[in-house]
Structures are given as structure tokens and as C-alpha cells.
Amino acid sequence: MEVQSIKQRFGIIGNSPLLNRAIDIARQVAPTDITVLISGESGTGKEVFPKIIHQLSARKHGPYIAVNCGAIPEGTIDSELFGHEKGSFTGAHEARKGYFEVVNGGTIFLDEVAELPLSTQVRLLRVLESGEFFKVGSSKVIKTDVRVVAATNVNIPEAISTGKFRQDLFYRLNTVPVYIPPLRERKEDIHLLFRKFAADFAEKYRMPSLQLNEEAISLLTNYRWNGNIRQLKNMTEQLSIIEKNKNIEGFTMQKYLPHSGSSDLPVLYKKEGNNESISERDILYKVLFDMKKDINDLKKVVVDILENSESSEKTQDTNSRLIKQLYQDVSESGSDLDKIEIQQRSENGFVDEPIQHSEVLEESLSIEKKEIDLIRRALEKHNGKRKNAAEELGISERTLYRKIKEYNIK
């Protein structure tokens, strides 16, 4: 079955290459019994893909069940998945089959699989590897033939590093990964989805469908949509019900897009003591000036080390030359940041404060790299003789040895 036919059959809307790629992977893996891990942010429509995989597989006539692992309490999750025997725990008045036993010969979809407790993860790993499990309170091995499709919106490698998810289970689940892109990565589909939702709500509430002007479409397309399709659908329903004028303009759209002024930013920044939105330019200024301050602090530390190191009069002269060279090297690299700072101060009305050009150091020209380069050149010049290299640099042999060890210079 072609990708376009699958979209029509399962009601998938969009023409994004990333979305088409995800559908194509699901289509190719469906005829096999390979375990699939679907990843993507909340609200991207991950629940549709297990249905695609099941319906296009040889198990399509078998049972299919979706289990939200995050919605089942930790104390009962093992019983829900694997079943229990009568009297195995308080309240177990009779034996019960678990999902893995009921869905034998079919497909089970484990949504939010990263929410499983570690003890349950061990049981799941055994089912995936051998098709065997024990009911709670039983010592009898039960065999099952179940195809597992899992989904999560959690960064599993990060969960592994914090000890919340088993690495071996991740590799077993992640045999074939399917990534569902968020709306901000498929902007060409946003207006298409909006029109579909608007038409559905117009029919549901028996009212005219919403129409957007160019400004409203631009705002809609460039918004970040952290809640993805779910958020877009809810916003469309709000517009459909609340707005009597169905021709939506930009200023009307803005009222339904919270914090739209800070949408799709390259960095995350929270302004202290102020809940008002800030512009992207202000955030970039903030990042650049913070970087400048950190580099200036590093430069001052190195200068203090050079000036206070144990040395003779010759050492002080060499250090002075090195310091002068460092300042000269960074003077040109700081010009661009200074221009930005002058512009920012001028825009804010603070042009009286002097700008110290020598306080800016480009990130790629770190003083540590300069010092390492000087030491290496001195060692090469004197064929690795530290005493002669130290004299050339104007520092003691003991200081040179410490620097070589500190910088791991070969």
C-alpha cells in the first residue's frame, strides 16, 4: 500500500517529507514481527502508527490493545500486563489474565513505555526475548506470541543515564525506530490541519467555517506549537466557538496564541522578575554579553597567573610581551561585539558609559590555547628539552612541567 493510500485510510493529514518518511517506515516494517519504538513529542499523533503497523501486518485479524503505561498505578501495572493468581495480593479475589495473555497472536501498543517501573521493565524484557512470563503470584511459565509496539515522548538515553530506564530494554525495543516530527518541523502542514479542523467544527456546531487572512496564516505557521496537533485542534475549536466573525485577522489570531512574541526562539531565556514577552534580539544581546563576561573573567585569571608566576626580570619581560600580544590579538575580534553593545546602549539611551574594547575576547581565540601553542613551539624549538624551553618562555622549569601536565601536552 502506498503512503498516500495509508494517509487516506487512517485519516492522516500532511505532506511533510518527515511525516511521509515515518509512514513509509511503518509500512515497510508492518509485515514483520519486529519490535518498533515510536518517538515524538506529546500531541504529534503517535497513537495512529501502531494501528497502521497492526492493520498492514499478518496479525490484522488478531486482537489489538493499547495500554497507557503512565495511567496505571505502579502497584497494579504487573497485574494488568501479566495477570495474577487468586490470593496473590490483597484484593485478588480471583485469577485474572493479563494483556499479554489476552492479546496472544495480536499486537499490543505500550504508550508512554518510559513510565514503566524498573521491576516491570525486567518482566517486559523477558517477554520480548523469549515470549515467556509469570503471572503475579504464580510459578508457572506462560508462553505468548505478541507483537510489541512502544511509544514515548521521553528522551530515553537521558532516562538511561539517570537510572530510570534499562539500557538493554531500550535496545530491544528500538529494533526499528520511527520518529514522528513535531508541528514546527512540518510547517507546510499547519494551515492544512487548521482548515481540516475548522471544517470539522463548522459541521459539528453548524456554523460557517473559519477563514484566515495572510497575516493570520503567517502567525499560525510560525508559532512554535509546543502542544503540537492537540494544541492546534483545541485552539481551532476555541476560535470556532468564540469568534462570531469567521474571517480571522492577525490581531484576532494573536489572542489565541499564548506568548507568541517569544515563539520559535533559538535559545530559552526567562527574564528575571518580568513576565512580559521579550524580543529575539534582546535575548541574543543577553547571550552575547554573558559570553563576553565569562571570557573576560577567564582572561583576567590567566593574566594574574602570568604576572604572579615565579620568575626573574627576564620572565617579567616575556610575560609582558605575552600579555601585550594577547590584548592585541583580541582587539580586532572584539570589534563586532562592541558594535552590538554600542547599538544596544544607544537604543536604550545609555551612550555615556565608555566601551573597553580590550575586554572582549572571541570564543575561538581562548588564552588557554595560546599558552598551549607557545609551550609546544618552545619545546619543538629545543627538541623537547624542558630547561631550554622554560628559559625561552621566561618561566621556571617547575612551572613549565606543571603546565605540560595540566594541559596534557605530549
Q: Please state the domain extents for the chain.
A: 3-181, 184-262, 280-407
Q: Residue 220, exposed/middle/buried by CB under 10 A (0-12, 13-18, 19+)? A: buried
Q: Write out the three cell numbers for 381.
A: 624549538
Residue 287 has pLDDT above 70, yes or no: yes
What local confidence, expressed as pLDDT, does residue 394 receive? 81
What local confidence, expressed as pLDDT, does residue 271 receive? 43
Tens digits of residue pLDDT in 322-349: 554 554 554 444 545 555 555 555 555 5
Position 247, amino acid: N
Give the Cα separation of 286 and 292 in Å (integer).
10
Nearest CA to 11 out of 188, 196, 146, 245 is that of 196
Angle at 234 between CA 150 and CA 9, to 5 degrees: 50
Helices and strands, counts by H and E, the chain: 18, 11
Give the Cα separation of 28 and 71 in Å (integer).
31
Helix (H) / strand (E) containing 375: helix 367-381
* Contact residues for 121 (Cβ-Cβ < 8 A; gap 6+): 165, 166, 169
What local confidence, expressed as pLDDT, does residue 91 receive? 82
Tens digits of residue pLDDT in 362-381: 444 456 777 888 888 888 88
What local confidence, expressed as pLDDT, does residue 328 receive? 52
Helix (H) / strand (E) containing 37: strand 36-39
Residue 113 has pLDDT above 80, yes or no: yes
Mean pLDDT for the stretch of residues 113-134: 96
What local confidence, expressed as pLDDT, does residue 274 receive? 46
% of residues, the chain, pLDDT over 90: 60
Q: Write out the three cell numbers for 42.
A: 506529546
Give the Cα separation of 216 and 256 in Å (integer).
11
Give the residue, 51 or 272, on which the prediction is more confident.
Answer: 51
Please name every residue paired with 211 in a beta bridge, in sequence order, or none if there are none: 247
Residue 405 has pLDDT above 60, yes or no: yes
Residue 198 has pLDDT above 90, yes or no: yes
* Contact residues for 155 (Cβ-Cβ < 8 A; gap 6+): none
Give the residue, 107 or 355, on which the prediction is more confident.
Answer: 107
Tens digits of residue pLDDT in 221-268: 999 999 999 999 999 999 999 999 999 999 999 999 986 444 454 444
- For the segment(s) 184-262, the CATH number from 1.10.1610.10, 2.60.40.10, 1.10.8.60, 3.90.420.10 is 1.10.8.60
Residue 270 has pLDDT above 50, yes or no: no
Give the residue, 277 or 245, on which the prediction is more confident.
Answer: 245
Q: Write out the three cell numbers for 207.
A: 456554523
Residue 15 has pLDDT above 70, yes or no: yes
What local confidence, expressed as pLDDT, does residue 111 receive? 97
What local confidence, expressed as pLDDT, does residue 279 receive? 58
Highest mean pLDDT pick, 69-78, 332-341, 353-362: 69-78
Mean pLDDT over the full length of the chain: 83
Position 93, amino acid: H
- Three-state secondary structure call for residue 146: coil
Residue with cell 518517538: 39
Tens digits of residue pLDDT in 390-401: 888 888 888 888
Give me the CATH code for the 3-181 domain, please: 3.40.50.300
Residue 183 has pLDDT above 70, yes or no: yes
